[in-house]
Amino acid sequence: MDETRIPRAGRGYLIGAWLLALAIGAAAGLALGFLLQDLLPGVIIGVAVTVLVGVAIALGVRRSGSGTIEGAPPWTGDAGVRNNQSGSL
Of 22 and 64, the structure prediction assigns the larger pLDDT to 22
Q: Can you give the residue range of the structural domain that contains 43?
A: 22-60
Cα angle 69-73-22, degrees, rounded to a multiple of 5: 110
Residue 72 domain flag = no
**pLDDT surpasses 90 at 62:** no
6 vs 39: which has the higher pLDDT: 39
User: What pLDDT score was predicted for residue 28?
Assistant: 94
Per-residue confidence (pLDDT) for residue 10, from 0 to 100: 72
Domain count, the chain: 1
Residue 55 lies in a domain: yes
52: in domain: yes
- Kindly state whether residue 35 falls inside one of the protein's structural domains: yes
User: Does residue 17 fall inside a structural domain?
Assistant: no
- Nearest CA to 1 out of 77, 72, 66, 70 is that of 70
With cut-offs at 50, 70 and 90, classify the pLDDT of residue 12: confident
What's the CA gap between 71 and 64, in Å, rounded?
Answer: 7
Is 42 domain-assigned? yes
How much is the pLDDT for 27? 95
The pLDDT tens digits of the residues spanning 23-61 come to 999 999 999 999 999 999 999 999 999 999 999 888 877
Helix/strand/coil percent split, the chain, to 5 = 70, 0, 30
Q: Which amino acid is at 53?
A: V
Q: Is 38 among the domain residues? A: yes
